[in-house]
Amino acid sequence: MYLINRLPSPVIQNKSPYEMLYKTVPNFQNLRIFGCLCFSSTIENNINKLDPKAKKCIFLGFKNGTKGYVVIDTNTREIFVSRNVVFHEHIFCKILDNDL
C-alpha cells in the first residue's frame, strides 16, 4: 500500500493519492532496494568498546505505522525493526548462505 498510494494514477489527472490528500509531492528518499545488504546498529547500554557496533542484515521492507526498516539478521535469522540502518544497495544477499 505504501507504494500504491504514492504512484500517479490517470484516474486523478496523473496525481498520486498521497498528493491529492496532502497537497504535496511524496518524498521517495527513504525507499530502499529489497534484499540488499545492510548493517543495523546495536548500540545499547552496558557494552564495551570491543563489542560489535552493527549486525549484518538483509533488508526486507517497511512496517506500517513505524519509521523503521524491517531487516533479518544473517547470523541468528531474527527479524526485527530498526531505525538505525546503513544500506549497501549494490550488494545483494541470500538468506540461506551461512558465509555472509
**47, pLDDT greater than 80:** no
Q: Which domain holds residue 95?
A: 32-100
**100, pLDDT greater than 70:** no
CB 58 within 8 A of CB 95: yes
Amino acid at 20: M
Same domain, 53 and 13: no
Pick the more confident residue, 81 or 98: 81
CB 81 within 8 A of CB 55: no
Same domain, 51 and 24: no
CA nearest to 4, candidates 22, 24, 26: 26
Strand partners, 79: 72
CA nearest to 71, candidates 29, 28, 42: 42
Domain count, the chain: 2
Same domain, 57 and 89: yes
Cell 519509521 locates to 67
